[in-house]
Amino acid sequence: MENAAIELSGERKISFRDRTQNFIYTFRRLEAKDWLKYFNSVTVENEREGKDTVQRIDIRSAGIALVDETLNSVEGYRVSGDMPADWKQKIHHGHKIKAADLLTDVGESSAMQSMPFSISDFEEIGLTAFWGVAENGSNVKFDGLVHRIASPNAEQRRVYMRSMSETRVAGSRSGRTIYRSSAPLLIRLYDELVQGVDGYTWQGQPLVNDVALIRANMDAYHKVAAMKQIFATPEDEMETAAAA
């Protein structure tokens, strides 16, 4: 996949199989407002139950709403006669969940995991994502999508910590803690801190160091994923290693 890059303008396709059938979903461009609506619909709550704390995360409802709102067309379904006007409501529920999972399947690049951390004015974050469908019908996976992000200053870190600590509690003071999405802040911080990217084009033009173009057109989900890595602590990995 040398020289391949994600084209951010225009439609976005994903594909999946169920039983022996292939399906291709075509979405309109997912704008920042679509992703903000998605992030604001994700619910993360925790509640004490006896000695334990139970965390509940609902991303499925938000994912289904995103698919309903942005899906332009589908291929692979048998239709008798014309496509009904309410075709989106008739799509298999599990297929919408699968489609949302693929749209949001953005991870840390395997190539970057072995990269040493360096002391510099910016960090390089590597992401993976599924974007587009190959001629054989399979999803195209991009690895090594690079975001060069300046190190946040103390004030930006403080504002992030504040945002992560501001919660609501349902019912009484000992009720459920409801966490709000930090995505709007992460998107804002990304726009403040981004220095450049590799692996993305806008209308055929590589974004590279065109910060204004990156701010305006980078996929908001990728902005959030990159910033989450900027603020990530290695605790999780240490805990995983200890538990293994």
Partner 1 sequence: MNAPSIFVPRDFEGIRQAAIELFEDSLVQREANRALDRAEGSSNRQRLEESFKSRLTLAAGYYSWVEYLMDLDGILAAGIQLPIEKLLDTEIHGLRMLRLARGEFSRRHPACGACGELNDRFAQQCSSCGVKFQRAKAA
Which residues here bind partner 1, judged by CB under 8 A? 46-48, 53, 154-155, 158, 161-162, 164-171, 173-179
Task: Assess contact for 183 and 35: CB atoms under 8 A.
Answer: yes
* Edge-to-edge order in the sheet of strand 21-27: 12-18, 21-27, 71-75
Minimum distance of partner 1 from residue 157's CB (angstroms): 10
Nearer to partner 1, 48 or 90 (CB): 48
Distances in Å between the alpha carbon of 17 and those of 20, 91, 94, 138? 7, 14, 12, 9
Nearer to partner 1, 53 or 61 (CB): 53
Nearer to partner 1, 167 or 205 (CB): 167
> Could you tell me the two tokens for 172?
């009484």
Nearer to partner 1, 154 or 242 (CB): 154
Minimum distance of partner 1 from residue 183's CB (angstroms): 18
Minimum distance of partner 1 from residue 37's CB (angstroms): 19
Nearer to partner 1, 50 or 94 (CB): 50
Nearer to partner 1, 26 or 177 (CB): 177
Minimum distance of partner 1 from residue 13's CB (angstroms): 37
Q: What is the Cα–Cα distance from 244 to 242, expressed in whole angstroms? A: 6
Minimum distance of partner 1 from residue 53's CB (angstroms): 7
The residue written with tokens 């334990």 in the block is 52
Buried b vs exposed e over 204-240: b needs ≥16 C-beta within 10 Å? Answer: eeebbeeeebbeebbbbbbbbbbbebbeeeeeeeeee
Minimum distance of partner 1 from residue 161's CB (angstroms): 6
> Could you tell me the two tokens for 155?
């004030």
Environment class of 200 (CB within 10 Å of its CB; exposed 0-12, middle 13-18, buried 19+): buried
Q: What is the Cα–Cα distance from 146 to 174, expressed in whole angstroms? A: 43
